[in-house]
Structure 1
Amino acid sequence: MANVLLVDQVDGKNALVMRDVDPAQPGPGEVRYQVHAFGLNRADLLYLAGYHYTPTIIPSRVGFEACGIVDAVGAGVTGFKVGDRVTCLPIGKPVYSVAGEFAIMPEDFLAPWPEHLSTEEATSAWMQYSTAYYPFCELAQVGSGDVVLITAASSSAGVGAIQLAKHLGATVIASSRTTAKADFLRQVGADHVVTHDCGSLSDQIAALPIEGRQLSMVYDAVAGPAIASYADALGPKAQVFIYGALSGELTIECPILPLIRPGASIHLYSLLNMFPQPGALQRVKDYLGPLIADGRLRPLVDRVFPFEEAFAAFAYLEAGDQKGKVVVRTKFAE
């Protein structure tokens, strides 16, 4: 038997619960691994609340990313064997959720656990970077000379995007609710920091020592009414990628003219819409794998909780005070 985390109905409401279950056997093309740690993401909170891209199934497991050691393989698996150390890419299907003491994943969504990464870093390696990969590398094709705004930048997704944008040569402006995390954001690579408690983001961006003072791209996890705060800073053909709703509003609220005048566009983006496209999964693994393996991209872990305190870990994530990834370790972690 193994403990896992699920979303289920408790007193008529969706709730996170811990249950002891019999580990399933992997099917054809699947790999089962003993989970050493799993990472928490805002996507988990959205799934628990029924607001995620993936419709919530009651009951079902939760969790998008984990690392561990293979203990069983299904028929036809050729890339992994029992005893291999692995980390996973997010697949976004409840049947393949990973929060618990075991997980099952199609072998295509697994990657080797880089030797230089700790347990906590290995579990955090793929979701933040693969989420950012498609907007930055394929859709907007960010490079030298581009100015990028990354909202909610102290989250693991934000930190990963800062690292990737700097690798691509862009100038990075990080935004946060307050100035409390400004020093941290500069330490992880942001060239400039703007905050909502200091007024309009557009006005703050206009005052920065950046040529043109206009945005090429926005990577926005907040959405809702917050879009209006940076709309006037959008440059010619700027692309805005909305990938979250931390504002609490499942809406897009912004003035029209600041987008029409520069020919800017808004994209409603989900990583899970990209993976089914032909070759997309392999491209992200081919591009990011070497960068993770040699340390050019390295996850930043904020806080680690033991599995017995998993509920506290989710509460900490929901409070929004983290700086990087929140990780839960299981009893199997070395």
Structure 2
Amino acid sequence: MARLVQFDRLGGPEVLTLRDVEVGTPGAGEVRIRVDAIGLNRAEIMYREGAYFDRPAFPSTLGYEATGVVEAVGEGVDGLAEGDPVAVVPAFLQSEYGTYGDHVIVPAAAVVPRPANLDPVRAAAVWMAYITAYGPLIESGRVRPGDHVLITAASSSVGLAAIQIARHIGAIPVATTRGSGKRQRLLDAGAAHVIVTDEEDLPARVKEITGGEGVRLAFDPVAGPGVETVALAIAPGGSLVVYGALDPRPTPLPNAHSYPELTSSTYTLFTITKNPERLRRAVAFINAGLASGSFNPVVDRTFDLADIVEAHRYMAANGQVGKIVVTVDHAGSSS
């Protein structure tokens, strides 16, 4: 038996329940993993609430990331064997698989070796964050050394990864945060500049930082009407990439009469993780950065699997800087 987090209806954190469930054996192309740690993501809050593009079928589990050890492999799986320390990357729908449990089955295509220099908790804070930032900053080729990159909601795990990746390639990360309480932590994390949007005029401050030019890329998870303000901070010919929907209101498309010439697009990390060759490049890039010390996944706080409701409440409060990770105590498991 496995302990899995499931829910039977949409709602707040209280709908999550830890249950004993028969985990079974992996099918063709699947792997069963004994989970050590789980990385939490805001997409899982949206999925639980019914605000995500993927809709749950009840009873539903959830979760995109985990680290652990391979317990069994299904037919047709190559390159993975029992006992391998691994990590799960987001490369599937939560309505099909989930990582919130002490033993889970996931697609082998979503499993990569755990970085050798990271413990399970820090390794659980890597893949969603760094692959999400890797796509627009590296895979697309839009950002070059010396370019200014605007990173909104920068205290998230993705925002911190984007700061580190920008620094790694010689770009200049300009971070935003709503309140001043996170300013110093973002500077300590590597941001060249921090703009407190509740206190400062974003476009004016960006123009001051960039000598009037604007940023080459704006990387935004918020969406909503605020993208119009973000667009005013972009240099002519630059790019606006929206990768989230923290603001559920409609997102306007910046128009040529009010904004500089720019490319506006949406982005999801599935662009990388569901393409084997792109995923191979992303994993190689991120592993190199981890090995060199350029990339340092930030863990804000850990919770036990039994405290998953409190972990979701903490994530929803939006006070963290970095990743929230849930740990699994197998000593207390009956499986």
Summarize deviations over 1:267-320 as a string: whole Å, max 9, x none. Answer: 111112443346222222232232234433221000001111111011100110
CA contact (8 A) 1:140 1:217 kept: no
**1:256 alignment partner in structure 2:** 255
Structure 1 residue 189 corresponds to structure 2 residue 187: no
Counterpart AA for 2:144: G
**2:328 alignment partner in structure 1:** 330
The count of residues paired between Structure 1 and Structure 2 equals 330
Deviation at 1:104, TM superposition (A): 1.8
Quick one: distance in 1 between partners of 2:276 and 2:80?
Answer: 23
Summarize deviations over 1:55-85 as a string: whole Å, max 9, x none. Answer: 3333221111000111111122221111111
Summarize deviations over 1:28-48 as a string: whole Å, max 9, x none. Answer: 222111001101111111111
Quick one: distance in 1 between partners of 2:130 and 2:99?
Answer: 18
CA contact (8 A) 1:241 1:266 kept: yes
Deviation at 1:106, TM superposition (A): 2.3
Aligned residue for 1:218, secondary structure, equals strand
Aligned residue for 2:72, secondary structure, equals strand
CA contact (8 A) 1:34 1:332 kept: no
1:25/1:318 Cα in 2 relative to 1: closer, same or farther (>3 Å)?
A: same
Counterpart AA for 1:167: H
Counterpart AA for 1:216: R
Aligned residue for 1:198, secondary structure, equals coil
**1:74 alignment partner in structure 2:** 74
Quick one: distance in 2 between partners of 1:311 and 1:277?
Answer: 33
Quick one: distance in 2 between partners of 1:166 and 1:269?
Answer: 21
**2:33 alignment partner in structure 1:** 33
Aligned residue for 2:274, secondary structure, equals coil
Summarize deviations over 1:104-132 as a string: whole Å, max 9, x none. Answer: 22223212122321221011111101111
Give structure 1 stretches of 5+ with no counterpart: none
Counterpart AA for 1:193: V
CA contact (8 A) 1:148 1:219 kept: yes
Quick one: distance in 2 between partners of 1:258 and 1:160?
Answer: 34
TM-score (norm 2): 0.92
Quick one: distance in 1 between partners of 2:193 and 2:29?
Answer: 46
Percentage of matched positions with identical amino acids: 37
Deviation at 1:7, TM superposition (A): 3.2
Of the three residues 305, 310, 313, the one matched with 2:311 is 313
Give structure 2 stretches of 5+ with no counterpart: none
CA contact (8 A) 2:272 2:282 kept: no
CA contact (8 A) 2:167 2:173 kept: yes
**1:133 alignment partner in structure 2:** 134
CA contact (8 A) 1:200 1:230 kept: no
- Range with bigger deviation, 309-318 or 117-126: 117-126
Aligned residue for 1:279, secondary structure, equals helix
**2:219 alignment partner in structure 1:** 219
Deviation at 1:53, TM superposition (A): 3.0
**1:292 alignment partner in structure 2:** 290
Deviation at 1:139, TM superposition (A): 1.9
1:258/1:120 Cα in 2 relative to 1: closer, same or farther (>3 Å)?
A: farther
CA contact (8 A) 2:12 2:48 kept: no
Quick one: distance in 2 between partners of 1:276 and 1:139?
Answer: 16
**2:270 alignment partner in structure 1:** 272
1:315/1:77 Cα in 2 relative to 1: closer, same or farther (>3 Å)?
A: same
- Range with bigger deviation, 214-223 or 19-28: 19-28
Quick one: distance in 1 between partners of 2:143 and 2:10?
Answer: 45
**1:155 alignment partner in structure 2:** 156
